[in-house]
Structure 1
């Protein structure tokens, strides 16, 4: 477990009123909690108190915030010896508010904000003595970080890896923001009038502030592939990036619900699901909205993914190997996944048909395993007394005929899966080696079968295969198995 200073970069403030509310908050929203979660298949609301990412980092890990005020020197002196466990808020909207003496409310350009973040990172490293920092960002804040990583650092002759250890994003529109209605007219109007820099979410501006040596006046090349917007390319390893993706459009109430209606149901209400990740990064899908009562930032699920990615000691990559689905010319298949950790009230990962994000295309590949989820585990936080980390992975395979219509919105709701089961796994790290046990819930309620490492294992990586139960093999293939790759994470 490695502790480094955390810098939080907040998201977009749509109006000047939003800017004023933001600058009134010492923590720019990182201190926002929630009291509601949705449970069961009907998504009924239930009381559940989540204190906020800021407070949980303080109580769980001993972090302390550095508040930007006149007493910052005294705060630093008081925390001497613990400066690696500090949280810094990047207050980039302060320069655009008259309440702090600004003569203009004109927004900074993305490149300027990214340069300011570079200055803050230099100051944090100098002040704390840390060699690197963790970047944590919500929404547009992730694009600010990417502009620094992909454009500003290279133009300064620097590498992001020399300053940033890990990068975590909540609901960031890595591929931009698009609308399901308007046939492109809404995007065109947004990018033409550039109200409050809203064109920062369109491909033209994203190309400019994510590409080294491209000027703000340069045009998007005609042959530019929009998928490249979600690539961090060689600027930073995607393995050190985590993209948290929201799938609950229904509960996003911004603009009286007009946002979610314009963006569509396959989103968190503002950012479409397939635009919310960096290619090759670690991902988790959680049923939270972009903001509000059921927001992604102020959620237990979000925090659990954050703390495990930043501070976890063990990495478990889960994939489905040797899938062999039948009659793919007549049927198509969708796989639902759900991951829960012992001691937690909510799943930390869920790809569901009802949430418009099941695993689909990957099931047709036969050349490599189907990625399921990467779990980051913290043994000392285990709910057991012996540091055993337990997680439960639910798999459910659904089949649809290619002649079905409206399958996504209607027929799947009452569809009974071809097969479903829970894989329950215990993982224990001892003196640099790993041990694991498993069971399928249909057979045993507790993990009882030892996993044996295969020849793919090495001194640093433990690889094992869990065969599916007989019913699972009948629908997914005789040799199908869940592949576990366990290694150290730091």
Structure 2
């Protein structure tokens, strides 16, 4: 189904605060993307020890799994004068933008993000020239594309390059096929509930001030769209001969603050719950702004129980790597939403409330895993502060937008099938709606409350079958594991191939209870 093309990957690393961190970064040929992890995985047999799990690093895995190569030659990289190697299309390029800020290789002074963004534009054009100059790549300037993969502040460098016409050229922007970010503070960094102020210039920390971000990201015009000053807007971009959409921008979001040890744990303390120890979940993704009467559209995103960096960091994790390769090279995209039709209070709560206001937050948990794997592509749990949340007033109200909850996006591919002879792609989707704490007139109601209970909890198994060409979905089978309730959806022959909507009811007739429809928007990817 997908094009048999893997474009060059340009890695853009994250923020280095101190001078020693800058120097360590420039001393590393791959700026940290070569760092893997060795962790333990719980054993199923209690008599056995936990199982060791090794992830070799994204750089090594791309080399072993897909034949990518680095571009260092005789101690030089492609931006050094005198480099003259043959550049393969499947190449890994590291944007070494901190060199100019290091004591060893630069002037020791860190420029602002606009300089980094312009440098990225120059690097993209350099890669383009080298790819097109190699006859073995069989490509031309009008067909050249590349991927940008960035961690933390590196994602802001990518956005500044793409969104601000003052930073670089449209020719370079037209070369970007997709962008993947790990733990990027797309809406800035908050500490102690406050955004980093624009006057905090020490170590360049004002880079994460929303006031400054609005300028270099060119989003000041969205103040009317979001009066709260959010800067995580990525509009449809375009110029002479190029277009770029939020649909091609993936955000990998970390949810484990506990294992982030920077500043002796102070960062995770002041960043608070609901994040990776530095970046809050709500600030780690981008949206297409709500314009012209249309609703805001989320970028594809997934959630992993990983910290911002360190031994349990988000970059050096199997979960993030699997999302990366499926987003870059996969065949099928699935966007998962839960639409709530009805929510019912406990009878005693409704009786005790009478005409008094009832407040309750409903937590939507989910995890999605492809068939035959030992990890999830996305995971959202209440205990990890990553569950999607809606309050009772929104779910019981009349606004359909408030009743529509985006859960996650996943990408699947024919090349990762457990059985290579199978013509189907399968995944499981676990959904849980947790019982909330009820407040009546701002006072907790604890009668008959059992912590950890759920209004609904089940796992949906979905299998999509493709035609003989492997290019179109012909039918979909699905079933809830606990009840066995199943369905069979045959795609009409005249159905447009852009998006299929698999609508599966969930819920029960209990009181308290919830009913709704789980919607999986399934579309071809990389066609």
TM-score relative to the length of structure 2: 0.80
2:96 match: 91
Unmatched 5+ stretches in structure 1: 215-219
The aligned runs of 1:77-476 (5 Å cut-off) are 77=85, 83-100=88-105, 102=106, 104-129=107-132, 131-151=144-164, 153=165, 158=170, 162-180=174-192, 184=194, 187-188=196-197, 191-211=198-218, 225-235=227-237, 236-279=244-287, 280-321=298-339, 323-327=341-345, 330=358, 331-361=360-390, 364=395, 366-367=400-401, 369-385=404-420, 386-403=422-439, 414-430=451-467, 431=469, 432-434=471-473, 435-444=475-484, 449-453=487-491, 457-468=495-506, 470=508, 475-476=513-514
Inter-CA distance 379–95: structure 2 relative to 1 (3 Å threshold): same
- State yes or no: 1:21 paired with 2:24: yes
Q: 1:25-56, CA deviations, whole angstroms, 9 ceiling, x for partnerless residues?
A: 1100111101125669xxx9863101111111
Deviations along 1:341-391, one digit per CA (max 9) or x if unpaired, are 223222111111111121223872535743232221111111123153221
Equivalent position of 1:11 in the other structure: 14
**SS of 1:423 mapped into structure 2:** strand
Query: Runs of 5+ in structure 2 lacking a partner?
Result: 44-48, 133-142, 238-243, 288-297, 351-356
Q: Which moved more, 1:105-114 or 1:68-77?
A: 68-77
For 1:217, the equivalent position in structure 2 comes to none
Render the CA deviation track for 1:384-425: whole Å, top value 9, x for unaligned: 231532211101112224328999xxx999411122000011
What TM-score, normalized to structure 1? 0.85
Q: Deviations over 1:219-244 (max 9, x none)?
A: x9999845441002233411110111
Corresponding residue pairs, total: 464
User: Do the aligned residues in 1 keep the contact of 2:500 with 2:523 (CA within 8 Å)?
Assistant: yes
Measure, in 2, the Cα distance between the counterparts of 1:412 and 1:13. Answer: 47
Contact 1:66 1:75 in 2 (8 A): no
In 2: Cα distance, 1:20 partner to 1:45 partner: 37
After superposition, give the CA deviation of every residue in 1:181-228 in whole Å (9 maximum; x if it has no partner).
Answer: 6xx4x834xx424112111011232122112899xxxxx999984544
Aligned partners of 1:45, 1:201: CA distance in 2, in Å?
40
From 487, 497, 520, give the equivalent of 1:484.
Answer: 520
Counterpart secondary structure, 1:451:
strand
Superposed CA RMSD in Å reads 3.4
